Amino acid sequence: MPSRERSAKAGAKAPAASATSKKSSGAKRPKAKSKEKGSRPGQRNRPAATSGVVPSPPTPDGAVKVTFLGGLNEIGRNCACVEVDGKILLIDCGLMFPDMDMLGIDLVLPDFEYLRQNADNIVGCICTHGHEDHTGALSFLLRELSFPIFGSALTLGLARNRIEEAGLSSRTEFNVVKDGERRQIGPFDCEFIPVTHSVPHGFATAIRTPQGVIMHSGDWKLDLTPVDGRLTDLTRMGSIADQEGVRLLLADSTNACEKGHSRSESTVGKVLYDLFHEFEGQRIITTCFASHVHRVQQIADAAIAFDRTIATMGLSMKKNVKLARELGLLDIPESRLRDIAEVKDVDPAKLLVISTGSQGEPMSALSLMAANENKFLTLTEGDVVIMSSHPIPGNEANVTKVIDGLTRIGVEVIHSGIEDVHATGHAKKEECKTLLSITEPEWFVPVHGEYHHMAAHARLGRQMGVPEDQVLVCEDGDQLIIDDDGITRYPKAVPAGYLYVDGIVGDVSDGVLRDRRVLAEEGVVVVIVGVDVTSGAIITGPEIITRGWVYAPEAEDLLDQCAEEVRGSIKEAFQNDATDIETLQRHVRRAAGRFVAANTKRRPMIVPVIMEA
């Protein structure tokens, strides 16, 4: 096997492989769906729901399938399956935070249909690291299915919080794996390789299959001076590439459009130290992601250097600090910590608060502080807030609102636009190229990114010598079949639509969201009319009720005219011998819609209610 892989890499491809690869790269991707009515520019193309799915053909013995259920064409809900002999190994099971246009939606999950269909064949889930876009959907999937999970102690500790909250701990088994450990999970021989990222103890994974090694980068960057000294183990990746060959590389594309090299996390510590020096004598509040243990460490180090007492604010910060200290990943002496409820007697000049809310989440501790509604802390002029983070796309407006609120109080706000108080956790171009050069993959599929991130990453792959037709840009729902001849891509082979969480999961469809958008943007017009279909007469109404179209008390004339228009159309329908409710509804909807559009240039939702006498 290795010899064939290496020869293919060297460009001396077997004819069969090139035929297959042609088929795969030449396979026409179904066109992006036409814009839904009510959709807006900039809205993502929704991945395939159950309709439009074309399953891949049965696979020959010894073939390996890779299926993408989420994370390709979006940042979030990362979830992939590797399949051998019908046994499935999951790589991550994450959630996504909703776009602004997903009104009322709390979370978005991967489509679990394919996993449901193969419920008895899931041998486990590898959690590459502890971020919610990689582990957050487990607490939903485990309601229906049961399988063991594998990851570092911190990763599983972070995942456990959510799974326990959902009361599902008994549905899984938490298997802690160590750096460099090799584990047999079902038919898969998996090796866990350390990588640096914005949460400690993340892994890349080498999965040995009958079709060679599948290498998954996890979320990673090449931090040569990480806070904990735990380096991305490029040496091990190189040695696997050298000895066994990497048949397929799946790698993080988040920053593949960004030139250069990411900054080391440890450079942030120096900036924080300087700021703590500058603001000596003032109360300091910092925010960062609650799982960013190394950032918390560097904030705490700066605080301790300037003799401050440390308090955490926000439940997830409190929980994660506790977990990381228990695991020995966070070094803050007990004597330095104080509960936020007991900081009133601490001299503000000697206090540091580490808070949640770095993304401007409306109900977070920081947002409440900005609105002066935080029960533990009232900010005043002279306080300093350091936002040690960068807004995730989509959160900019909320973050700006929080910065404004704080500024209005007289607080000095330091954010990543002012000082280098943040470093990304994802590999930029030069690091992506380093990984490609070290792993020398035979085939390359960019993962974890919006479409343009993956396309940029694909270009880097080709630039680094992966043959043009062996770089595949895939999307959610796509399935790869790896056999002796190469890799064939089957677009939209499994359902991969969005599963929306709004209260109870599963009852919000795209149709519901479309309605919500129309209601939010244009309002609703309800036309109520009572008719006698046998005599063809209007008994009551039409009565027009509206919310969000015009303000009814000030628009009586308009409503009367609309009612008149509808009355005319019903009469016309009766003259044309309409006797069924559907026809009358159609007439009413059309007449009211036309009137509304002509007189106000708006398109509210029209709801005809026809009552039969």
Taking CB under 5 A as the binding criterion, the range among 40-48, 128-136, 205-213, 556-564 that sits at the site for Zn ion is 128-136
Task: Report the amino acid identity of residue 483.
Answer: D
Q: Nearest distance from residue 193's CB to Zn ion, in Å?
A: 16
13 touches Zn ion by CB under 5 A:
no
**Considering beta carbons, is residue 283 or 428 the nearer one to Zn ion?**
428
Task: Report the amino acid identity of residue 58.
Answer: P
C-alpha 335/C-alpha 462 separation (Å) is 54
Taking CB under 5 A as the binding criterion, the range among 124-132, 187-195, 320-328, 329-337 that sits at the site for Zn ion is 124-132
Task: Write the binding mask 197 to 216 for Zn ion: x where contact by CB under 5 A, - elsewhere.
Answer: --------------------
C-alpha 238/C-alpha 49 separation (Å) is 39
Residue entry with tokens 């007991």:
342
C-alpha 476/C-alpha 496 separation (Å) is 6
Q: Which tokens belong to 570?
A: 């019903």
HEC string for 376-431: CCCCCCCCEEEECCCCCCCCHHHHHHHHHHHHHHCCEEECCCCCCCCCCCCCEHHH
Q: Nearest distance from residue 74's CB to Zn ion, in Å?
A: 11
**Considering beta carbons, is residue 218 or 604 the nearer one to Zn ion?**
218
Q: 213: Cβ–Cβ under 8 A, 6 or more apart, which residues?
A: 206, 207, 240, 244, 245, 246, 247, 248
Residue among 133, 233, 252, 485 flagged as catalytic = 252
Q: Nearest distance from residue 76's CB to Zn ion, in Å?
A: 7
C-alpha 423/C-alpha 224 separation (Å) is 13
Taking CB under 5 A as the binding criterion, the range among 29-37, 131-139, 507-515, 548-556 that sits at the site for Zn ion is 131-139
CB 487 within 8 A of CB 21: yes
Taking CB under 5 A as the binding criterion, the range among 82-90, 125-133, 515-523, 531-539 that sits at the site for Zn ion is 125-133
**Considering beta carbons, is residue 283 or 292 the nearer one to Zn ion?**
292
Q: 134: Cβ–Cβ under 8 A, 6 or more apart, which residues?
A: 78, 92, 93, 94, 127, 128, 219
Q: Nearest distance from residue 317's CB to Zn ion, in Å?
A: 18
Active site residue 274: no
Task: Report the amino acid identity of residue 210.
Answer: P
Q: Nearest distance from residue 392's CB to Zn ion, in Å?
A: 11
* Chain centroid, CA 316 distance in Å: 19
C-alpha 191/C-alpha 301 separation (Å) is 34
Q: Nearest distance from residue 297's CB to Zn ion, in Å?
A: 18
**Considering beta carbons, is residue 192 or 574 the nearer one to Zn ion?**
192
Question: In what helix (H) or strand (E) does residue 153 lie, and over which residues does it extend?
Answer: helix 153-165
Residues 218-247 that bind Zn ion (CB under 5 A): 219
**Considering beta carbons, is residue 392 or 528 the nearer one to Zn ion?**
392
DSSP-H helix ranges across 105-233 = 113-117, 132-135, 138-144, 153-165
CA distances (Å), origin 89, targets 82, 190, 209: 5, 10, 11
**Considering beta carbons, is residue 203 or 574 the nearer one to Zn ion?**
203
**Considering beta carbons, is residue 219 or 265 the nearer one to Zn ion?**
219
CB 90 within 8 A of CB 56: no
Q: 355's torsion region: left (phi>0), alpha (psi -120 to 50) or beta? A: beta
CB 216 within 8 A of CB 128: yes
Q: 300's torsion region: left (phi>0), alpha (psi -120 to 50) or beta? A: alpha
**Considering beta carbons, is residue 475 or 502 the nearer one to Zn ion?**
475
C-alpha 153/C-alpha 143 separation (Å) is 23
Active site residue 426: yes
Residues making up the chain, counted from first to last: 613
517 touches Zn ion by CB under 5 A:
no
Task: Report the amino acid identity of residue 164.
Answer: E
Residue among 131, 426, 457, 587 flagged as catalytic = 426
Residues linked to residue 351 through DSSP beta bridges, in sequence order: 309
Q: Nearest distance from residue 71's CB to Zn ion, in Å?
A: 8
| 8-state DSSP, 224 | S
Residues 377-416 that bind Zn ion (CB under 5 A): none
Number of residues interacting with Zn ion: please give it, by CB under 5 A.
Answer: 3
Residue 270, CB-side half-sphere exposure with 13 Å CA sphere: 8
133 touches Zn ion by CB under 5 A:
yes
**Considering beta carbons, is residue 96 or 214 the nearer one to Zn ion?**
96
C-alpha 411/C-alpha 576 separation (Å) is 71
**Considering beta carbons, is residue 5 or 133 the nearer one to Zn ion?**
133
Q: Nearest distance from residue 78's CB to Zn ion, in Å?
A: 6
131 touches Zn ion by CB under 5 A:
yes
111 touches Zn ion by CB under 5 A:
no
Q: Nearest distance from residue 218's CB to Zn ion, in Å?
A: 8
Q: Nearest distance from residue 219's CB to Zn ion, in Å?
A: 3
Catalytic residues: 252, 426
- Residues at the contact surface with Zn ion, assessed by CB under 5 A: 131, 133, 219
